[in-house]
Amino acid sequence: MIRDPNTGWQEPTITINGFQLSFAEAMAVRVAVSSYRMWLSGQNRKEIGERLADGYDHCLRAVEAHMRGRP
């Protein structure tokens, strides 16, 4: 976990292609994942199809669990 020295907030350690994201970048990724899951839970899932929405939601739920430090 990355801790912001000013606020004490923590974000997950995220590495993409060997580059570790900064605190702010990790926060942006976490918020983007959560926001997309919320988007999928509404009327939008019908637009992309239930099967695709379920697949995305399953994977995004796993990503959120990993970001919280759970397998």
Cα–Cα distance for residue pair 56/48, rounded to 1 Å? 10
Specify the DSSP element, H or E, that contains 64. Answer: helix 50-67
Q: What confidence score (pLDDT) does residue 16 get? A: 96
pLDDT at 41 (0 to 100): 87
Distance CA 2, CA 24 (A): 10
Determine the pLDDT at residue 44: 87
β-bridge pairing 19-20 and 2-3: unpaired
Q: How far is CA 15 from CA 6, 7, 31, 50, in A?
A: 22, 22, 16, 31
Could you report the per-residue pLDDT of 13-69, keeping only the tens digit for each?
999 999 999 999 999 999 999 999 999 988 888 889 999 999 999 999 999 999 998
Query: pTM (2 decimals)?
Result: 0.84
- Residue 34: what pLDDT? 95
* Domain range summary for the chain, segments of one domain joined by +: 24-71
Strand, coil or helix: what is 4? coil
